[in-house]
Structure 1
Amino acid sequence: MKQITSARNEQLKHAAKLLAHGKTRREHGQTVIEGVHLLQVYLQAGGEPLQVYVPENKRHLSEVAALLAQLPENRITLASAGVLSKISGLAEAEEVLALIEIPASGALPQQGDCVVLDRVQDPGNVGTIMRSAAAAGVKQLVLGKDCADVWSPKVLRAGMGAHFLLNVFDRADLAQWCAGYAGNVWATALSETNERNLYGMDLTLPAAWVFGNEGSGVNAELLARVTGCVKIPMAGQTESLNVAMAATVCLFEQMRQRL
């Protein structure tokens, strides 16, 4: 196997730039996944990493060895102790890293179940919504231009592998997309003229769910194009839910009705 002994190695310098900068990820169409779990999910989904960097002191651990057995030897590079910790943002200093191609998006979906994110900027919220969508059986995720970078390390970690279970379409013009979508489009936003109780709705037909910015909600232009606004009933004096929690409630109510 190839071996790297310094973080100044050109391959690792490239990986470090991918971890740090969205512009670099977009220019190269690549990102880096961190940790054994993400690599496991990626391989199970049929992914083929460009290169896997393995801390030399972990190569013989059972779960690491099992992963390496699935890869051609020329895709594996061993790294000396401490090298990978210098480019990774993980608290765990020595972890497996994998360089991968970002899957091509293709044309935006015009039908079928979708989750749509409008200016959701917290990486943890984006990743959590992705996990909920995958768990609720929704396979398509559409993100507007001002969302957190879906292929950033923080979103990848929060998604826990959901990226590789979904069809991801990012940096979309959501108002334009919404005009061509063939189905109901529901937004979790309150409206004086169109307020629907989530638990009184028929959610058995394919639909797109729009979840908006953590502070300001769904933008007005997009809101004007949706089929209706959905209210999640809450007890007491609570006014709102975290966007990731609201998305989870809506998607699982949809799944419950369809079971």
Structure 2
Amino acid sequence: MKTITSRDNAQYKELKHLATSAHALRKAGRTLLDGVHLCETWLQMRGLPEQCIVSDSGLRHPEVVALVARLEAAHAHCLQLPDALYAALSQVEHGVGIMFLVEMPRPAATGALAANAVLLDNVQDPGNVGSILRSAAAAGIREVYCGPGTAFCWSPKVLRAAMGAHFVLDIHENVELAQLVAGAKIATLATSGYATQKLYDVDLDRPVAWVFGHEGQGVSDELLSLARHKVVIPHLGQVESLNVAACAAVCFFEQVRQRQASAG
């Protein structure tokens, strides 16, 4: 295990640049996974990280010690930092002191939509995006397409909210969603508070592409006009609408319910 103690170390400066700049992450095609859960999930599903970074105090945490031992047995690259240097990299309060530097997966370009998918149109809140990814993965959906303006999926906040869902999804970013919806081979469903067709009246026992929009403005008019179905989730309380992440979860699991009922 290599140890760095100086803030002026070139390798440390590079890590700090990545940790504090979403632009730097995008440009480098790498990201930082912070915490035992994300690191263990990556190791289980994707293999060794490019580098493991651990704090001095982290090496006194039993889960971190066990994880580092597995990495060293596999001859992975590990880097130890004093707590003060590590804290400047981490965005997790009261974390246990371990993170992975990994290369962001780059899914192959796909053709026309033909399998269950999620399309995010200018969904800006990282917590909402992460929650949607988590629900999609739990519902067995694999493909995610993010239009311009949607929160960067590999940012630390989205990663934490998704709790490892990234590692079982194919995530495509900066996608021209209108072209994707127009050329889809499957039904496309956009949620709208002004729609008249109820979610529960749509046949979801088939592949569909779900379109969710901006937290305040909803799905853009262009995508609404292109979608085959505009659906609303009926609710009884005195609120205007559901949070977009809650809306997505209801949609995904209504489809799960219908498919399980069909399967008998």
TM-score range, shorter chain: over 0.9
Counterpart of 1:255, as a letter, is: V
Q: Deviations over 1:155-189 (max 9, x none)?
A: 11111111112111111010011122210000111
Q: In the alignment, is the contact (CA less than 8 A) between 1:4 and 1:77 conserved in 2?
A: yes
Aligned pair partner of 1:103 in 86, 102, 105: 105
Q: Deviations over 1:173-229 (max 9, x none)?
A: 10011122210000111446xx21111221010000000000111111111111111
Q: Deviations over 1:2-42 (max 9, x none)?
A: 11113332222222222222221121111111111110111
CA distance in structure 2 between the partners assigned to 1:93 and 1:166 by the alignment: 26
CA distance in structure 1 between the partners assigned to 2:210 and 2:96 by the alignment: 39
State yes or no: 1:157 paired with 2:157. Answer: no
Q: Relative to structure 2, which stretch is displaced further, 19-28 or 30-39?
A: 19-28
Which structure 2 residues correspond to residues 64-143 of structure 1 after superposition, within 5 A? 64-71=64-71, 72-92=74-94, 95-108=97-110, 110-143=113-146
What is the CA distance between 1:131 and its match in structure 2?
0.7
Q: In the alignment, is the contact (CA less than 8 A) between 1:119 and 1:144 conserved in 2?
A: yes
CA distance in structure 1 between the partners assigned to 2:255 and 2:7 by the alignment: 48
Q: Relative to structure 2, which stretch is displaced further, 52-61 or 125-134?
A: 52-61
What is the CA distance between 1:74 and its match in structure 2?
4.6
CA distance in structure 1 between the partners assigned to 2:237 and 2:23 by the alignment: 45
Q: What SS does the corresponding residue of 1:203 show, helix, strand or coil?
A: coil
CA distance in structure 1 between the partners assigned to 2:245 and 2:129 by the alignment: 7
Counterpart of 2:169, as a letter, is: L
Q: Which runs of 4+ in 1 moved over 6 A?
A: none
Q: Identity, % of aligned pairs?
A: 44
State yes or no: 1:183 paired with 2:186. Answer: yes
Q: In the alignment, is the contact (CA less than 8 A) between 1:186 and 1:229 conserved in 2?
A: yes
CA distance in structure 1 between the partners assigned to 2:139 and 2:7 by the alignment: 41
Counterpart of 2:99, as a letter, is: L
Q: What SS does the corresponding residue of 2:70 show, helix, strand or coil?
A: coil
Counterpart of 1:25, as a letter, is: L
Q: In the alignment, is the contact (CA less than 8 A) between 2:193 and 2:241 conserved in 1?
A: no
Q: In the alignment, is the contact (CA less than 8 A) between 1:85 and 1:93 conserved in 2?
A: no
Q: What SS does the corresponding residue of 1:182 show, helix, strand or coil?
A: coil
Which residue matches 1:171? Answer: 174
State yes or no: 1:210 paired with 2:211. Answer: yes
Counterpart of 1:252, as a letter, is: F
Counterpart of 1:87, as a letter, is: L
Q: In the alignment, is the contact (CA less than 8 A) between 2:35 and 2:96 conserved in 1?
A: no
Counterpart of 1:121, as a letter, is: Q
Distance of aligned partners of 1:189 and 1:15 in 2 relative to their CA distance in 1, 3 Å threshold? same
Which residue matches 2:43? Answer: 43
CA distance in structure 1 between the partners assigned to 2:237 and 2:2 by the alignment: 61
Which residue matches 1:199? Answer: 200
Which residue matches 1:221? Answer: 222
What is the CA distance between 1:237 and its match in structure 2?
2.6
Q: What SS does the corresponding residue of 1:16 show, helix, strand or coil?
A: helix
Q: In the alignment, is the contact (CA less than 8 A) between 2:36 and 2:96 conserved in 1?
A: no
Q: Deviations over 1:213-254 (max 9, x none)?
A: 001111111111111111101013322000000000000111
What is the CA distance between 1:97 and its match in structure 2?
1.5
Q: Relative to structure 2, which stretch is displaced further, 109-118 or 3-12?
A: 3-12
Q: Deviations over 1:76-95 (max 9, x none)?
A: 11112322002222212652
CA distance in structure 1 between the partners assigned to 2:182 and 2:81 by the alignment: 50
TM-score (norm 2): 0.92
Distance of aligned partners of 1:228 and 1:199 in 2 relative to their CA distance in 1, 3 Å threshold? same
